[in-house]
Amino acid sequence: MKDSEVKVLDENDYIFIKALNNLGMSKNAATTVAYLMNVDEASSREIEISTGLRQPEVSLAMRLMCNQSWVSIHSEKKPGKGRPMKIYSLAVPVDEIISYYEDRVYKESQATISAIKKLKAMSKQVFPIPSK
């Protein structure tokens, strides 16, 4: 049997995950980002073991992150038969991922403010304030 070191998430990682989740990132993707921040690279299995996520959850998180070009993937042949293992690493600095959500939240806020202004303008037209 091979000895290997398994990194686990700590309290600060969970605070980071919650903050990303509050910005709109899925919890599974946020957990995966937090783990990949702490390692150079990891297989899907290593991510599962270290984060407590199940294989389908890791796959969905990776698909989201691949679509955004936030992770790089390379294959590594395992000894013996079987498919090569996919190895993942962050392809961009975490600040870039945070900036993506910052921009998204800003745009959503601007849209909400615009809608409120329209409602206020419309309400004055439909329900004018009576003069005394």
For the chain, what is the mean pLDDT?
A: 89
Model confidence, pTM: 0.79
Alpha carbon 61 to its chain centroid, in Å, reads 7
For residue range 8-45, list pLDDT tens digits in order: 788 999 999 999 999 999 999 999 999 999 999 999 99
The whole-number average pLDDT for the span 55-59 is 94
* Rounded-to-integer distance, Cα 78 and Cα 97, Å: 31
- Using an 8 Å Cβ cutoff, are 71 and 37 in contact? no
Token code pair at residue 34: 């937090």
